[in-house]
Amino acid sequence: MARILLITNIFPPHIGGPASFIDRLAHALSGRGHDVTVVCSSDAPTDWRDRERPFRVRRVCLANRYLYEVRVRLVLAQELARHSRILVNGLESYVDDVARVVPRRYVLKIVGDTVWETARNAGLTTLDFDTFQQTPPTDARLDALARKRKRYMERASIIVTPSAYLKRIVAGWGVPESKLRVVPNGISLEDWSTASQPPRNGPLRVLFVGRLTNWKGVETLLLAAAGLQGIEVTIVGDGPELPLLSALRRQLPGTEHIRFAGRRPESAVKDMMREADVLVLPSNYEGLSHTLLEASACGLACVASAAGGNVEVISHEKTGLLVPYSDPGALRDALVRLRDDDTLRTMLGRNARASAHRFDFSRTVDAYVRILEDIE
């Protein structure tokens, strides 16, 4: 039995890929007999569900920003001192600060580029993810973030990415190949039942699930679906782009069949996937999408942008359809194909379900156990 520390920015009841990943990993490691502790940021200092978890959760409350800055460093210092197998999946800058005083080897998981995300959210760039990687930062804030990122990556013993695509991006930041590992995000197949595929008498039920940011491509989906007959579109999620997207929906003609369903818990998302016909992910960038894995495991036909790690999940015309990102016409054509061809849609969903076994979560757990052993 090993003592394992998992550090994350978000954790249930927060919804999001990193939150659900760390929760599932902690349960799996505990189930294998390891003594697991999770450190996370939280809106509240405690959560009643933590009493039912088979591992310890230390929440650092965000309510008071000054106290948070002090307490998060204190908690991390205490836990770093107690553990030798450590996975950092968030709070990287704080870990970097504390590790100067409490030196520890640790594994760092990189799931994206915080510099690019900051630039997009602040309106400092309109460049797509790949183009941005070839463009040196010209803003002082972005340059400072890039230098901070370089510092905490240098301190990490091993860096894990969820896709070969993201590994290439991180290598381009100057990280030695010897420090890099690829461990795909996994899916617990038993948690996802095959979507029902009765003969479809009504409209094609199209589902989007994700955070509403300006790189998720929801604007492209709205433009593609506007005026398209024979489909219903449900957009699940919340985020900073919701007001703009809602306004766009009102402005576009023929959008009565498109609805925003808000943020939903995982149990509700599962039910919605079981009832849907198609999952759409038209994002500008993905490291390796949890949503695509979940939809594939559920047996849904998927239409995704040919961007980032999506191409490592979807094989075009075999397990789904790939379209160029930011191309409403191509996305519209793909939706029309699946609306008009039930045989194709059923075949893609069936193949996606079979392909999802490549991402069985037990393999993910095995890989992290081996990597954490390597740094001890």
Q: From first to last of the 376 residues of the chain, give the pLDDT tens digit.
A: 789 999 999 888 887 778 888 999 999 999 999 999 999 999 888 888 888 999 999 999 998 888 999 999 999 999 999 998 999 998 888 998 898 888 889 999 999 888 888 888 888 888 888 899 988 878 888 888 888 888 888 999 999 999 999 999 999 999 999 999 999 988 888 887 665 555 567 899 999 999 898 889 999 999 999 999 999 999 999 988 999 999 999 999 999 999 999 988 888 888 899 889 999 999 988 989 989 999 999 999 999 999 999 999 999 999 999 999 999 999 999 999 999 999 999 999 999 999 999 999 999 999 999 999 988 7
Q: Do domains 3-186+360-375 and 189-359 have the same CATH topology?
A: yes
189-359 is a CATH 3.40.50.2000 domain: yes
Q: Using CA atoms, how far apart are residues 12 and 334, in angstroms rounded to an integer?
A: 35
Q: Is 229 exposed, middle or buried (0-12, 13-18, 19+ CB in 10 A)?
A: exposed
Taking CA atoms, 356 is separated from 29, 37, 328, 374, in Å, by 22, 29, 27, 28
- The model's pTM: 0.88
Q: Using CA atoms, how far apart are residues 244 and 219, in angstroms rounded to an integer?
A: 9
Structure tokens at 175: 């990280």
Per-position DSSP letters for 236-285, written without gaps between them: E---TTHHHHHHHHHHSSS-TTEEEEE---HHHHHHHHHH-SEEEE--S-
* CA-wise closest residue to 291 among 189, 210, 196, 207: 210
| Residue 107 backbone class (left: φ over 0; alpha: ψ -120 to 50; beta: rest) | beta
Q: Using CA atoms, how far apart are residues 38 and 55, in angstroms rounded to an integer?
A: 8
In 3-state terms, what secondary structure has residue 325? Answer: coil
Residue 34: Cβ within 10 Å count: 17
Domain ranges of the chain: 3-186+360-375, 189-359
- Whether the Cβ atoms of residue 365 and residue 25 lie closer than 8 Å to each other: yes
The CATH fold assigned to 3-186+360-375 is: Rossmann fold (3.40.50)
